[in-house]
Amino acid sequence: MTGRHQLNRREVLRGFGAGAVAATLGSLGLKGQLSQAQTQAEPAQVLGGKLFAQSAPPARVGLVRGNDRRDIVYQALRHIEDEVLASIEGKKRILIKPNFVSTRRELCATHVDAVRGILDFLTGHYKEQITIGESTAFGGGTREGYVNYGYLALEKEYNVKLIDLNEQPWVYRYVFGKGHKPTPIRIISTFLDPDTYVISAAKMKTHDRAVTTLALKNILLAAPLNDYKTNDKWLTHAEYNFSPKALLHFNMFHLAQEIYPDLGVIDGFVAMEGNGPVGGTPVDARVALASLDSLALDVLTTKLMGFDPNKIMYLTSLAEAGKGQGDLAKITVLGTPAEECQFHFKPHERLIEPYGLG
């Protein structure tokens, strides 16, 4: 490749992050190159033989079960109100990012009333305009999703603006592609903006490669650009297999070093089981969850869905890297007791054997 697509050592190390490159070199049996990669890349932190410095602190998750979707989302946020308000201070913008993996099947998308619950909570404290943005991968584009799922009414009800993140500026980063080769990928700049407070308004669903798709995945796989001519989101899936060690897990782990939600909210009022993230069937779970620690949020929700989060590699890797709390014993549930919200979701049929979910 030439020009702006040309790869050199400095760009690869910057695009991947030294820790990610070093860890991958080791996993590929290239340990002799590890110290060289570490010494030439400033971001690496090697303490006690590990690439990451600290473990995450204990986490708090608001969990509410009830009969009104909008209200339980609002109440889940109220349980962590003080820490949410403190975390917003100093941010110039708030972005609520729903999940429209498809713009033509409401069951797979974040329901508009879940977003209303978030806005009810925020507008009591935050007076500036709030942005709602999505970067859909399927269907007729993000704006089609806004129409089909009733989001247009939000601009009349609240001080919000709806945008298509696929139309925003972007920058290059890298992921591992076919053959484990560094592959340029266009990342929407909004997700890299330190002044933007990113709220992941996710759906509680199963997934065909990662078992579950929740707050983290809603952000990490939305960040690559789909300009409706070329869809870079597929580059994260480079190898279309269903192994627990698929490159998708590493690429999400890698992207999370720069891209991470400030607040996670999960809409599980009517969740999805089976062949998600689009073709599954409904579960009348009637729950909502919220946390500043999206990893803790996803680990807890995965457990409540009846799956073992320790079998999901990107979750365990992020916990080991100190990107969030992965130990259920260190996650405090506020609101409805977790034991009252335990389910047994059917997994995607293709993951039953490779993940041992039978």
Predicted pLDDT of residue 53: 55
Q: Are residues 16 and 159 in the same domain?
A: no
Domain final residue, candidates 29, 53, 77: 53
- Pair (43, 142) in one structural domain: no
Question: Letter for the amino acid at 293?
Answer: D
Is 169 a domain residue?
A: yes
Residue 85, in any domain of the structure: yes
Whether residues 160 and 245 share a domain: the answer is: yes
**3-class state of residue 17 by DSSP:** coil
* Number of structural domains the chain divides into: 2
Give the CATH number for residue 102.
3.40.50.11440
40 in the same domain as 106: no
* Residue the block writes with tokens 């500026």: 169
pLDDT, one tens digit per residue, over 119-134 is 999 998 999 999 999 9
Rounded CA-CA distance 7/146 in Å is 38
| pLDDT at residue 179, as a whole number | 86
Beta strands in 3-112 (DSSP E): 59-65, 93-98
Question: Are both 112 and 45 inside the same structural domain?
Answer: no
Residue 243 in any domain: the answer is yes
* Cβ contact 338:289 at 8 Å: no
Give dist(CA 224, CA 231) in Å, integer.
8
**Tens digit of each residue's pLDDT (9 = 90 or more) over 197-249:** 999 999 999 999 999 999 999 999 999 999 999 999 999 987 767 889 889 99
Whether residue 299 sits in one domain with residue 203: yes
CB 188, CB 224: distance < 8 Å? yes
| Mean local confidence (pLDDT), 160-181 | 95
Q: β-strands 59-65, 211-213: how paired?
A: unpaired
pLDDT digits (tens, 9 = 90+) for 251-264: 999 999 999 999 99
Q: Are residues 43 and 66 in the same domain?
A: no
Examine residue 128 and state whether it is found in any structural domain, yes or no. yes
Asked whether residue 46 falls in the same domain as residue 74, the answer is no
Q: Which two tokens stand for residue 176?
A: 């591992």
Residue 358 domain-assigned (yes or no): no
DSSP secondary-structure letter at 345? P
DSSP assigned state of 224: B
Taken as a whole, the chain contains a residue count of 358
Does the residue 217 lie in any domain? yes
Tell me: the pLDDT tens digits for 301-355? 999 999 999 999 999 999 999 999 999 999 999 999 999 999 999 999 999 999 9
Percent of the chain at pLDDT exceeding 90: 80
**Do residues 237 and 260 share a domain?**
yes
87 plus 135 within the same structural domain: yes
Residue 14 counted as domain residue = yes
357 domain residue, yes or no? no
Host domain of residue 13: 1-53
Q: How large is the C-alpha radius of gyration of the chain?
A: 20
Same structural domain, 28 and 7 = yes
Looking at the structure, tell me whether residues 46 and 109 fall in a common domain. no
Cα dihedral across residues 276, 277, 282, 283: positive or negative:
positive
